[in-house]
Amino acid sequence: MSPVVIFVYGSLRRNAAGESHPLLRDGRFLTAATVPGVLYRVSWYPGLVGDEASESRVHGELFELPPERAAAMLAALDDYEGGGFRRRRMRASADGNALWDCWVYAYVGSTHALSLIPTGDYGVPVHRARP
């Protein structure tokens, strides 16, 4: 069974103390990484609009989910992300050259009234309103 890898870029990233979000507690942090696309401030959380052809990059982290728990963890993450996001496959880049096939939660709402995060980096999450 191939590993299940997820790229997180907002409220699911590790906090300043390096602790994983409760929904990723059973996952294994792999590395910092980027995916092609842009990042918007939706509310207290960001939304990624992925674009494989984009030269812009969104910064985040890769986690490997344990095979025996991956389906349950992805279902819980789907619930956490809600209707404004859809899980999709993308390729993340780590250290400028390592490529990882991974799941990413892409924002599917309208972006016309949202602020662009020009650095593509939401930073360390400071608000964890939902477990």
Residue 64 contacts residue 3 (beta carbons within 8 Å): yes
pLDDT at residue 121, rounded to an integer: 96
Residue 1 has pLDDT above 90, yes or no: no
Domain 4-116 superfamily per CATH: Gamma-glutamyl cyclotransferase-like (3.10.490.10)
Q: How far, in whole angstroms, is CA 120 from its chain's centroid?
A: 12
- Span 30-79, pLDDT tens digits: 999 999 999 999 998 999 999 888 889 999 999 999 999 999 999 999 99
Residue extents of the structural domains in the chain: 4-116
pLDDT at residue 126, rounded to an integer: 65
pLDDT at residue 129, rounded to an integer: 47
pLDDT at residue 127, rounded to an integer: 53
How far from 87 is each of 3, 72, 79, 84, 94, CA to CA, in Å?
Answer: 16, 14, 11, 10, 20
What pTM was estimated for this model as a whole? 0.91
Residue 131 has pLDDT above 50, yes or no: no
Per DSSP, the chain holds a count of helices (H) and strands (E) of 1, 7
